[in-house]
Amino acid sequence: MTTAAKRLPREFRPADVRDAGADIDVQKVRRDFPILRQRVRGRTLVYLDNAATSQKPQVVIDAIRQYYERDNANIHRGVHFLSEHATEEHEAARRTVQGFLNAADASEIIFVRGATEAINLVAQTYARTNVHAGDEVLITAMEHHSNIVPWQILCEEKGARLRVAPISDSGELLLEDFEKLLGPRTKIVAVTHVSNALGTINPVQLMIEMAHRWNIPVLIDGAQAVPHLKVDVQALDCDFYAFSGHKVYGPTGIGVLYGKSALLDAMPPYQGGGDMISSVTFEKTIYNKVPYKFEAGTPHVAGAIGLGAAIEYVNGLGIDNIAAHEHELLAYATDIVSAIPGIRLIGTAKEKAGVLSFLLDNIHPHDIGTILDQEGIAIRTGHHCAQPVMQRFGIAATARASFALYNTREEVDALVEGIQKVREVFA
Amino acid sequence: MPDLRELYQEVILEHSKAPRNYREMATANHRAEGYNPLCGDHFTVYLDLEGDSIRDVSFQGSGCAISKASASLMTQSVKGKTRAEAARLFDQFHKLVTGQSPANGNRAELGKLAVFSGVSEFPVRIKCATLAWHTLHASLEGKQGTVSTE
């Protein structure tokens, strides 16, 4: 438990969570999320837009509030009580993340703004040093824009080539094609662990093994994975792992880049500024050790502490219990939604997490979204920042329901009733 | 609470399913493209301008019910009109969907376009209703590039 969580008053602790046992008592869990109590448009809120961002439990809200009420100070530089204490809490959050990902050392955890910044960091430091004209960067056809554009920028600057491993009609990576695209020119592989638009879980362990046979480092975009499944970076043997705090019940503006020590040590810094240096003269600057070398400027201390509290909350429930609950919910939703006449599911991979993307007859997803919203049901509609995925399926957009640990079967039933309402309006 | 039926009126639903003037126009002397990438709404508006008047107008593309019906009803409304008349209609339509048109105001001039009055209760859908109109405007002005209302 982080120092922050230890110091929370008894009533702020997730007691329900610790008593939850092997399974998730979803009604108990829901009481931890104040936002879920409200009504929107006269209806009980049904929040099914978790792949965009998750809601925050009271323990996270309290950890952030307490930091500002009691502990706020700049870190890594003060000799006074508050600074020392804030530094301790910030670094405790780093150790919490380390444990969550099973990283070998806390110094391998770099705090960034989110998965997007984590990927940009690797593109602009490791890859900028190691990718040259004629080299290749390999991604997949199911990436979020955040795992496409940073590589395009790099490839354009370097005269390198962006290669894209194709996917099947069900939204699964074509592993043989992926393997064939690896070669002596490939300097880095960047793949999503779980697709935000399709829900597909990629066989990343296998992909990492394939890439490592060519000594190619692999970055995993875990933004959609860490809320839903156990991630062990040492077991995966991935070289970099990126995720955002706000999708795993933490605050916005904080995220994590994990990197293997040997790689991080050899990489040039990302941004220059305070905190990332050991000494500065006008002639020469000595950079700080990792992870601080990559954390220029005053960091998002409250964000890191909030993320630590979120991970403690997830750990308290047990990520395997969360995964089991969500898996059951997704299976139920897949069954009853696909039984609705006119429904076409986009993304039907065997291994999926958390996401149900669908089309209904020729009704545009935005019309579906507006009608569901009138029923108090929040889903995402559009291209989900994955336009190449939409192009792959020859569509402009989908409607996407995405699940979290606090969603219930009753909410899935409400979604189905909402879709029936859409059908009535467009009958 | 806004009423769904105010937004999805029968006329709108009917035009979205069977859009009028939905065709490519080989004889067009003006054309413009409208694209809202976040929504995926994507239309091309074709114009046959004779002097100052719109001899023919058509459109093609894909989008939500609101954007498609708006494009369809727009083509019906501006056909045979002068540029100035079309611009005035756009102005009134814009006021209608952004809630700046008094209920007892000059809605008579809008004719069938008045069915879009419900859009003002759904602010995120205003961009859908106005995409075709902004595209028409660009086409009339002979502007280059793609129009967006996002």
Tens digits of per-residue pLDDT, A53-94? 999 999 999 999 999 999 999 998 778 999 999 999 999 999
Name the one residue in this structure whose structure tokens are 């093609």. Answer: B60
Please check the confidence at residue A380 and state whether its pLDDT lies above 80.
yes
The residues, any chain, with a CB within 8 Å of residue A269's CB and separated by 6 or more, are A125, A276, A287, A293, A294, A296
Tens digits of per-residue pLDDT, B100-112? 877 666 677 899 9
Residue among A40, A324, A363, A385 flagged as catalytic: A385
Contact at 8 Å (CB) between B21 and B59?
yes
Contact at 8 Å (CB) between A304 and A94?
yes
Tens digits of per-residue pLDDT, A106-154? 999 999 999 999 999 999 999 999 999 999 999 999 999 999 999 999 9
Q: Is A361 on the interface with B (CB under 8 A)?
A: no
Residue A95 to residues A14, A108, A119, A143, A225, Cα–Cα distance (Å): 20, 10, 21, 29, 20
| Overall average pLDDT of the A229-233 stretch | 98
State residue B106's pLDDT score: 64
Mean pLDDT of chain B: 91
The answer to the question of residue B148 being in a domain is no
Contacts of A384 in chain B (CB under 8 A): none
Q: Considering chain A, tell me which residue range(s) the CATH 3.40.640.10 domain(s) occupy.
A: 81-315
DSSP state of A250: S
Contact A383 B65 (CB under 8 A): no
State residue B5's pLDDT score: 83
Name the one residue in this structure whose structure tokens are 């000594």. Answer: A215
The answer to the question of residue B146 being in a domain is no
Contacts of A420 in chain B (CB under 8 A): none
Tokens, residue A142? 């199911």
Give the percent of chain A with pLDDT over 70. 95
Q: Are strands B41-50 and B30-36 parallel, antiparallel or unpaired?
A: antiparallel
Please check the confidence at residue A14 and state whether its pLDDT lies above 70.
no
Tokens, residue A122? 């690797």
The answer to the question of residue B150 being in a domain is no
Question: At A280, which helix (H) or strand (E)?
Answer: strand A277-280
Give the percent of chain A with pLDDT over 90. 91
Looking at domain A319-425, which of 3.90.1150.10, 3.40.50.720, 1.20.1560.10, 3.90.550.10 is its CATH number? 3.90.1150.10
Q: Count the domains in chain B.
A: 1
State residue B107's pLDDT score: 72
Contact B64 A366 (CB under 8 A): yes
Rounded to a whole number of angstroms, the distance from the CA of B117 to the nearest CA of chain A is: 16
Contact A367 B122 (CB under 8 A): no
| Overall average pLDDT of the A293-314 stretch | 97
Instruction: Mark whether A238 is an active-site residue.
Output: no
State residue B40's pLDDT score: 82
Domain residues for B28? 4-141
Tens digits of per-residue pLDDT, B25-77? 999 999 999 999 888 899 999 999 999 999 999 999 999 999 999 999 999 99
The residues, any chain, with a CB within 8 Å of residue A211's CB and separated by 6 or more, are A138, A182, A186, A189, A217, A218
Q: What is the torsional sign of CA B19, B24, B29, B31?
A: positive
Question: At B92, which helix (H) or strand (E)?
Answer: helix B83-97
CATH of the domain at B122: 3.90.1010.10
| Overall average pLDDT of the A387-402 stretch | 95
Q: CA A372 to CA A418: how far, in whole Å?
A: 5
DSSP state of A126: I
The answer to the question of residue B16 being in a domain is yes
Between positions 2 and 31 of B, the ones with CB within 8 A of A are 2, 4, 7-8, 13
Q: What is the pTM of this model?
A: 0.91
* Count of C-beta atoms within a 10 Å radius of residue B108: 7
State residue A2's pLDDT score: 43
The answer to the question of residue B81 being in a domain is yes
Between positions 81 and 110 of B, the ones with CB within 8 A of A are none
Question: At A46, which helix (H) or strand (E)?
Answer: strand A46-47
Please check the confidence at residue A6 and state whether its pLDDT lies above 50.
no
Residue A372 CB burial class (10 angstroms; 0-12, 13-18, ≥19): buried
Tokens, residue A391? 């192009």
Contact at 8 Å (CB) between A279 and A302?
no
Contact B125 A387 (CB under 8 A): no
The answer to the question of residue B147 being in a domain is no
Among the partner residues A42, A365, A371, nearest to B1 by beta-carbon distance: A42
Q: So what's the architecture of A81-315 in CATH?
A: 3-Layer(aba) Sandwich (3.40)
Contact B13 A367 (CB under 8 A): no
